[in-house]
Amino acid sequence: MNDTVLTVVGRIATVPKRRQTEAGISVTNFRVASTARRKDRESQEWVDGDSLFLNVSCWRQLADNVVRSVVLGDPVIVHGRVFTRQYEVDGQKRQSYDMEANAVGADLTWGQAEFTRVRRDVPAYEIQDDDQEQQEEGEYDEKRELAQSLS
């Protein structure tokens, strides 16, 4: 099967909403809007072109991270599998463009971001007697401690 994979640069067009399936899997849904911009040669001004709206679904850890990280209007880059969904409303056939996202990130053209890595497999650090004594004496070296825990 050939999947259509795209990267879309746009803005969050609806408030991201998270839910859980009956199996307990997290899903976050939102719409992303991408509008082409071009400079009109005659007026020398930027004008909007056509817009693309995609319904985006994020699953599992991506779903949890997206709902905590983006809000309505944020500039984003979304990468994933795109497909059309066909449905009927009041007897009229319609279709929507949907994306199952593999990655969602901030578009840093419009701002700065601070990344916080989610760590699930880092063991808790246990203070040993020698380190405990140094900490009590005020000689505790946080950088040395971090380097030891990562090695």
- DSSP string of 80-117, one letter each residue: EEEEEEEEEETTEEEEEEEEEEEEEEE-TTS-------
Q: Two tokens at 4? A: 């259509």
Per DSSP, the three-state class of 123 is coil
Specify the pLDDT at position 117: 81
Residues 19-45 have a mean pLDDT of 92
Please tell me the CATH superfamily of domain 4-108, with its number: Nucleic acid-binding proteins (2.40.50.140)
Numbered ranges of CATH 2.40.50.140 in the chain = 4-108
pLDDT tens, position by position, 87-128: 999 999 999 999 999 999 999 999 898 888 877 665 555 555
pLDDT tens, position by position, 38-91: 888 888 898 888 999 999 999 999 999 999 999 999 999 999 999 999 999 999
Q: Is 142 exposed, middle or buried (0-12, 13-18, 19+ CB in 10 A)?
A: exposed
Q: Two tokens at 48? A: 């909007």
